[in-house]
Amino acid sequence: MDRKQFLQTLGISAAAVVFINSIEGCKKPDLTKKIDFTIDLSSSQYSDLNTAGGYAYLNGVIIAKTSNGDFIAVSQACTHEGCNVEYQLAQNDFVCPCHGAKFNSSGGVMNGPANTALTKYNISLSGTTLRIFA
Ligand code: FES
């Protein structure tokens, strides 16, 4: 292999790696995987969850604290085009900042353009350990 062939091969390989990585970045979360994890509410990483209206993202799930102190959890990816939804305390719902879809606290669609509900997850609290599971 001469120098020119080597550089061509190297360039094609680099382009293939960039292309494959860009495809991976566009993948929507795998909603078929089983959700079952815990978080420690005493950790500074989740300090937002100590305040009503606070929310956090983990493992494709948005976990939010409601005004009455309960926690709710739904899939974080909007079912329209996959943007991360945000929790709104005053309305106790989730809104998508990309195109304005709204979902109720159970994940049901209130406003389009999304037409499929978010997945709602179960929550249990033991001490400062919050379990989120399907
Ligand atoms: S991605 Fe959420 S409304 Fe479009």
Indicate the average pLDDT of the chain: 85
Q: Read out DSSP for 84-122?
A: BPEEETTTTEEE-TTT--EEETTS-EEESS--SPPPEEE
**pLDDT score of 21:** 45
**pLDDT score of 6:** 53
- Indicate the pTM of the whole model: 0.75
Q: How far is the CA of 11 from the centre of ligand 1 (A)?
A: 37
Ligand 1 contacts (CB < 6 A) are 78, 80-83, 96, 98-101, 113-114
Contact in structure between 79 and 110 (CB atoms under 8 Å): no
pLDDT at 3 over 70: no
- Tens digits of residue pLDDT in 47-82: 999 999 999 999 999 999 999 999 999 999 999 999
Q: How far is the CA of 18 from the centre of ligand 1 (A)?
A: 27
Residues of the chain above pLDDT 70, percent: 75
Higher-confidence position of 125 and 14:
125
Nearest C-alpha to atom 3 of ligand 1 is from which residue? 99
- Tens digits of residue pLDDT in 84-102: 999 999 999 999 999 999 9
The atom number, within ligand 1, closest to the CA of 97 reads: 2
Contact in structure between 50 and 41 (CB atoms under 8 Å): yes
- Tens digits of residue pLDDT in 107-132: 999 999 999 999 999 999 999 999 99
Residue among 74, 86, 98 to mutate when testing ligand 1 (max atoms within 8 A of CB):
98
